[in-house]
Chain A
Amino acid sequence: MAKLILSMDGLVLKEIPITKERTTIGRKAHNDIQIDNLAVSGEHAVIVTILNDSFMEDLGSTNGTLVNGNPVKKHFLQNNDTIELGKYKLKFIQEQGAQPAAAAADFEKTMVLRPSAMKAAAAAAAGGAGAVAARQAAVQQAAASAAAAGVADKDNKGAQIAAAAAAAKPAAAPAAKPAAAPAPAAAPAAAKPAGQPLGAIQLLSGGNAGKELELSKPLTTLGKPGVQVAVLTRRPQGYFITHVEGAQRPTVNGQAIGAAPHPLKDHDLVEIAGIKMEFFHKH
């Protein structure tokens, strides 16, 4: 199932699964995706989805629609395409398995190799081939039969849904995605956070004042165990600070943070266990 991730200024606002044949986007309330901003026309654009293919169509909006930076009237959406309406961005994400080419070959998810199937294959491969070779043959067989019958596989559902849709049962669409990730929804399918600017902190007080620490690891803990500890996490959408332990919470620009991960901006002032430090992006 494809989905759209709505963001503004790099901040993810919402994740919208595409479940309908027509998904409308616009400022007015009757749209499937309402963006209440004057730069967005009342009925701005529509995404038409037929089986696994989605098309974006501008509905004659005042300010136009960009896809990957180019103004378009009609566009065949591909995975990771970015649609722009004013300051808002919609990233189009297509579940890989839903792509028709992948559907046949891809059986990414877990299936059971049944001993019975393996025995059958072993018998078939009776030419003295080793047990392992027989087993590999069994895999193919098991995979093939499982794929055919939809048996015992928690295969990517794209393929199955595609099959169901092809069987003219659009009502069999899966339930909408429940609430997204536990934290502010991450940009999915993002690679390692390598594309992010590297962050660092410089200590401003305490015995090590002036010292700089690069935040190259996925997470870095700071503070005094037993007193106050915070963790800085490096994620695809940037750096976050989270309270780990201690009665007092760390502060960012003088404000104590809540229980949820707090995003860090360039030149934020952080205080952990009485030590002041500055977070910044290395350029």
Chain B
Amino acid sequence: MNYSQILEIASCTDPGMVRSHNEDSIASDPNNGLVVLADGMGGYNAGEVASGMATTVITTELAQLLSKTQPYQVDQESKKPIAEKLIRDQVLKANTSIYQAAQSQAQYAGMGTTLVVCLFYDNKMMVGHLGDSRLYMLREGKFSQVTRDHSLLQEQIDSGIITAEQAKHAQHKNLVTKALGIDPVVEPEIREYSTKPGDVYLLCSDGLCDMVEDEDMGMTLQAIGGNLKLAAQQLVQMANDNGGKDNVSVILVRVLREYPAPRGILGMFRKG
């Protein structure tokens, strides 16, 4: 199935107002219904090396695999859609590549990256993520956060030590508890969600959600979501207008119509 007629994708990335270079990396593969966003970390240029490796490895490897397998087919071992295994395996592959590069080359020591990856299939999406880059959703006028950060702050909110309101002013927003490329193995969080026509999904690095209130992001998508490219630029601009302290990256995906997996003659009967 070619997803370029099913999903509308727009993106924008910017170094922000303070940093001299962009360590974020974004990629999309409209034909395969795949979007990837990574926010790199590590001294000098290593951050952009890590995030660039993550997006490249995942998009190229998945593109190859998707030409042979259908993500909605059920994996005999796990009884889950193959999409989950596809994402897990490629995330692990990216992790190994980044980790080995960091180990073998001094200038890359300690580099790593956050990650959000979404693969769309059969009226659903499989979402994998690590760290504090986020996925939000606008559905029927309601804007909500889909992923939960792997960060110390989120853990503190979860355990009730601080409230979400206090978290906005916390000192240690920057500490993530999971990232790609830091350790030899990594356990990405992977979940499946069902999608609806009209949904708009927003992937972003913390440069957006730290600078722009969720409410303003939702309002922007509602107000000018009709022009997805403009909405992406507007979100980046709002982060920059508020100080743009970090690199800002945004990917927007709109579901244009239903996209059920072909289920053969029997399936068509049932539907009809």
Chain A residues near B (Cβ < 8 Å): 1, 17, 95-96, 107-116, 132, 135-136, 139, 142-143, 146, 149-157, 160, 174-178, 181-183, 186, 188-193, 217-221, 225, 229, 231, 233, 235-236, 242, 244-245
Contact = CB atoms under 8 A, between A and B. Distances in A.
A186 B183 contact: no
Contacts of B176: 110-113
Given A110-B175, A135-B155, A188 B132 contact: no
17 contacts: A109-B246, A110-B132, A115-B183, A132-B155, A132-B156, A143-B175, A154-B42, A177-B15, A178-B22, A183-B237, A186-B17, A188-B18, A188-B243, A188-B244, A231-B230, A233-B234, A242-B224
A108 B226 contact: no
B43 interface: yes
Contact of B240 (A149, A153, A186, A193): A186
A146 B114 CA distance: 17
A221 B155 CA distance: 38
A157 B20 contact: yes
A150 B172 CA distance: 17
Given A153-B41, A217-B219, A221-B223, A139 B172 contact: yes
B17 A189 contact: yes
Given A181-B237, A233-B234, A244-B230, A151 B110 contact: yes
A110 B21 contact: no
Given A110-B41, A110-B175, A221-B223, 19 more contacts: A109-B41, A110-B39, A110-B114, A110-B176, A115-B183, A132-B156, A135-B155, A151-B110, A152-B182, A153-B110, A154-B47, A178-B21, A181-B14, A182-B12, A183-B233, A190-B243, A192-B242, A219-B234, A235-B237
A62 B238 CA distance: 41
Interface string B1-35: 00000000000101101111111000000000000
Contacts of A155: 174
Contacts of B236: 181-182
Contacts of B17: 181, 186, 188-189
B182 A114 contact: yes
Nearest to A229: B226
B64 interface: no
Which residue, A110, A175, A182, A220, has most C-beta atoms of chain B within 10 A? A110
B128 interface: no
B111 interface: yes
Contacts of B132: 110
B109 A151 contact: yes
Interface of B: 12, 14-15, 17-23, 39-44, 47, 109-112, 114, 131-132, 152, 155-156, 159, 161, 172-179, 182-183, 206, 216, 219-220, 223-224, 226-227, 230, 233-234, 236-238, 240-246
B179 A186 contact: no
B100 to A, nearest CB: 16
B41 A160 contact: no
Nearest to A217: B219
A127 B243 CA distance: 43
Given A186-B240, A219-B234, A225-B226, A113 B177 contact: yes
A96 B111 CA distance: 23
Contacts of A242: 224, 230, 234
Contacts of B219: 217-219
Contact of B237 (A107, A146, A186): A186
A110 B177 CA distance: 10
B242 A108 contact: no
Instruction: Report the 4 A-B pairs with minimum CB-CB distance, sorted nearest first.
Output: A154-B41, A188-B17, A151-B110, A152-B110
A132 to B, nearest CB: 6
Contacts of A154: 23, 39-42, 47
A149 B74 CA distance: 46
A199 to B, nearest CB: 15
Given A154-B23, A181-B237, A219 B175 contact: no
B109 to A, nearest CB: 7
A132 B161 contact: yes
A149 B102 CA distance: 14
Contacts of B159: 132
Contacts of A245: 226-227
Contact of A236 (B131, B152, B155, B241): B241
Contacts of A111: 41, 174-176
Contacts of A114: 182-183
B241 A152 contact: no
B245 A108 contact: yes
